[in-house]
Chain A
């Protein structure tokens, strides 16, 4: 047998997909920060979390990543994508770039993704559940109804989120997320 016929194969990179995911993580991170100021429900969810709460959401094994945490004065802040020696209290690991693509192109919601074993959570379960609820609210604000319906488990009814709150909140979150 000629062993040279059967080469060693090094894995290549999926640059375009990684860039897309990195942008989506940045947008979601900034939107969480903005939603914590704009939406009372998100504010309440964050208030219930520990003071040193720090979320790391990343794609296994080489990133990209997103850090969101609470500051000393209790504000929610997007801390960027670089690990600056943070000690996350909640780590959400997405198992592969393809799994992240399914999640961030809204082909699968967070609940379905977890059920299909594409997400690994390291940290307190109540914190993880709270974060999933926050992500759902942020997605409802960020996305048009037709897409958000795919991404969340249950799209909020009129009585849960009236159109005024939704559209006004959407404008504020977009403005805050992309300006300051």
Chain B
């Protein structure tokens, strides 16, 4: 039965596939912008992505206000302020984030500063009540989660607002195929955790389920071959599409236990969030399978398709869905250990992470966080 009481918002327009980059000039003009500030990192600039983007803007009325090619992976206040100044000095009217992770969050933070005309540290307490400047996100396949969601991370802050969604997400194989297998594994595991947590809530939202299931389907189908060959065009585009869908689903659901714990660990250790989420997700799913509600059997439909779902007896669907999900996580075994101990996290730190997570997300008790951490530490 469809539950009638829900809200759902997905703001971004997704342009994906062949020659998707060439859509940018038209999309920018329809957003009434003609002079974007392009933000990317030196790594992507060296790989020629900035040049690919510049070429895609040929034969249009779009002038690149500044092509900033030195964005760090950490969105610090200094870089946000410097880029905001560059934006104003050049008279830009929009922002293009070419890359994932820190680049996208820097772009969102700069957008807040230039749109709200205030300091970045003051933005944290402000409520965003009107649309920001147009923001186009061109993700690479090294997503860390949240780039395409209604959330921005900068310094040690986290800002959530419906206006923080990018306006357009452009997914093109010329951009996505440059990540490494390790980064693809990180991206897929983050998306997997976000998608499962988004549709595993007590009152599921049917539209959110559709996004989460699409993400799961893409990951299950394309993860093994993309990890082997990250330059695979279809695979890399599918993984980034999965990240986009999972981010939308994640924005419309409360934060889950895996995400909250992973954030607490990542803040302290600077590990890749996807790898941590992958470990926590494995044991969280196992605990859920034996818990009262169990895993939603619809996940099997999303992962394996209608034929397998129909063939599987009703009582076995949860276990089969669990097996499929573990198969997805196992596909990344060469790049992610199966326990927290394998990440060299000291045992005495677990209590601190549980306390941090409980302070941030009060939906679960500190003991629940601790139980999951203990299980994930030794793999018991």
Task: Spell out A's residues near B (CB within 8 Å).
Answer: 1, 3, 5-14, 17-18, 60-62, 95-99, 102, 116-117
B22 contacts chain A at the CB level, 8 A cutoff = yes
In angstroms, Cα B61 to Cα A11, docked, is 7
Are B89 and A3 within 8 A (Cβ)?
A: yes
Contacts of A117 in B (CB 8 A): 15, 23
- Number of residue pairs spanning A and B whose beta carbons lie under 8 angstroms apart: 71
Q: Count residues of chain B with CB under 8 A from any CB of chain A.
A: 30
Q: Do B66 and A6 touch across chains, with their CB atoms under 8 A apart?
A: yes
The answer to whether B86 touches A18, judged by C-beta atoms less than 8 angstroms apart, is: no
Known: A60-B26, A96-B25, A99-B22. A11 touches B86 (CB 8 A): no
Main DSSP-derived SS at the A contact region: loop
B residues whose Cβ falls under 8 Å from a Cβ of A = 15, 17-19, 22-23, 25-26, 29, 54, 56-70, 82, 85-86, 89-90
Are A96 and B23 in contact, CB atoms less than 8 angstroms apart? yes
Chain A positions within 8 Å of B68 at CB level: 6
| Additional 9 contacts, C-beta under 8 A, given A9-B67, A60-B26 | A1-B86, A3-B66, A3-B86, A5-B70, A11-B57, A61-B61, A96-B19, A97-B58, A99-B22
Select one of A8, A13, A102, A116 contacting B59, CB under 8 A.
Answer: A13
On whether the beta carbons of B26 and A96 are closer than 8 Å, the reply is: yes
Query: Distance in Å from the Cβ of A98 to the closest Cβ of chain B?
Result: 4
Report A-chain residues with C-beta under 8 Å of the C-beta of B69: 6
Give which listed residue, B23, B57, B63, B85, contacts A8 with CB less than 8 A. Answer: B63
Q: How far, in whole Å, are A38 and B23 apart by their CA atoms in the complex? A: 38
A99 touching B59, Cβ below 8 Å: no
Please tell me if the beta carbons of A96 and B65 are within 8 angstroms of each other in the complex.
Answer: no
Cross-chain contact B67 with A61 (CB below 8 angstroms): no
Known A3-B86, A13-B59, A117-B15; judge A96-B66 contact (CB<8 A): no
| Residue of A18, A62, A96, A98 contacting most chain B CB atoms (<10 Å) | A96
Q: Tell me which residues across on chain B come within 8 A of A11, comparing CB atoms.
A: 57-63
